[in-house]
Amino acid sequence: MPDYENVKLSLNDHILTLTIDRPDSMNALNFLTIEEIRGAIGEALIDEQVKAIIITGSGEKAFVAGADINEIRELNEVNSRKFAENGQEVFGQIENSEKPVIAAVNGYALGGGCELAMACHIRVATENAMFGQPEVKLGIIPGYGGTQRLTQLVGKGKAMELLMTGEMISAKEALDTGLVNYVVARDELLNKVNEILSKILKQAPKAVANVVDCVNAVFDNEANGYQTEANNFMNCCRTEDFKEGTSAFLEKREPVFKGE
């Protein structure tokens, strides 16, 4: 695994943990960090040793407190569209990952941090986590998919409120609105994430990848979700794991999936 400056990687039991590590600035995403996330996720997607990914932040206070404001203050009419499109591409790579990606939100998830968590398939937060899209307070709007994914997760009315006021919400409120899947004590965070991943990793990998593709198709204006589902259903029926799953059930034994 390559060495990165602001992203730390560790691989345990085929689960890659990607930690955003800029503690002096609450793990804010500068350009380098976005590119390092791109590199690390790109590598993880093709590395057969990696079967799932956890994204978290270093330290006790922040997951990621947004894009780095020192850098975004230099944005202008000429470079800002590219900036947004670049971040959208990197977060799209996470959202469309065939391998499960869970955000372990260990503190502030603001701006680009909330957007990063929302790009993951599932979110587990600590009780002290805070969520928000405070960009309007800086005179901008989210640019890494936040207006879209927040609306998808919490619905139009709540998304409008959070985006228009820039106010933060607690982990408990995030749970109530559907922004996160679970809220746990700090020392339970990785246990909970690993518990979810262990359930997913017992399933047929291609079936899991096809689920991701179908669910994402709901939000893709160019896709017909029902057609995607029918196609992906057919793809699953072609796999060895389908034969194994059905045989194992009928033979009253646990399936052994090979991802084939």
- Report the candidate in 205, 239, 18 with the shortest Cα–Cα distance to residue 100: 205
Q: Point out which residues pair with 57 in neighbouring strands.
A: 20
Q: How many residues bind ligand COA (CB under 6 A)?
A: 16
Site string for ligand COA, 2-31 (x = CB under 6 A): -----------------------xx-x---
**Distance (Å, rounded) from C-alpha 97 to C-alpha 111?**
22
Q: Mind telling me the catalytic residues?
A: 115, 135
Q: Which is nearer to ligand COA, 150 or 212 (CB)?
A: 150
- Is the Cβ–Cβ distance between 124 and 171 less than 8 Å? no
Triad 179, 139, 165: Cα angle to 5°: 40
Binding piece for ligand COA, criterion CB under 6 A, among 104-112, 199-207, 208-216, 242-250: 104-112
Which of 52, 67, 120, 171 forms a contact with ligand COA (CB under 6 A)? Answer: 67
| Residues 6 or more apart in contact with residue 211 via CB below 8 angstroms | none
Which of 65, 120, 159, 208 forms a contact with ligand COA (CB under 6 A)? Answer: 65
Beta strand spans in the chain (E): 7-12, 15-20, 52-57, 62-64, 101-105, 108-110, 122-126, 130-132, 169-170, 182-184
The footprint of ligand COA on residues 121-180 (CB under 6 A) is: 134-135, 138
Q: Which is nearer to ligand COA, 65 or 159 (CB)?
A: 65
Residues 127-143 as b/e (b if ≥16 CB within 10 A, e otherwise) read: ebbbbbbbbeeeeeebb
66 lies in the binding site for ligand COA (CB under 6 A) = yes
Which of 87, 111, 205, 245 forms a contact with ligand COA (CB under 6 A)? Answer: 111
Which of 10, 70, 165, 246 forms a contact with ligand COA (CB under 6 A)? Answer: 70
Number of helices (H) and strands (E) in the chain: give both, helices first. Answer: 11, 10
60 lies in the binding site for ligand COA (CB under 6 A) = no
115 lies in the binding site for ligand COA (CB under 6 A) = no
Please compute, for residue 131, the number of CA atoms within 13 A of its CA located in the half-sphere on the CB side. Answer: 34
Q: Which is nearer to ligand COA, 59 or 225 (CB)?
A: 59
Instruction: Give residues in contact with ligand COA (CB under 6 A).
Output: 25-26, 28, 65-70, 72, 108, 110-111, 134-135, 138
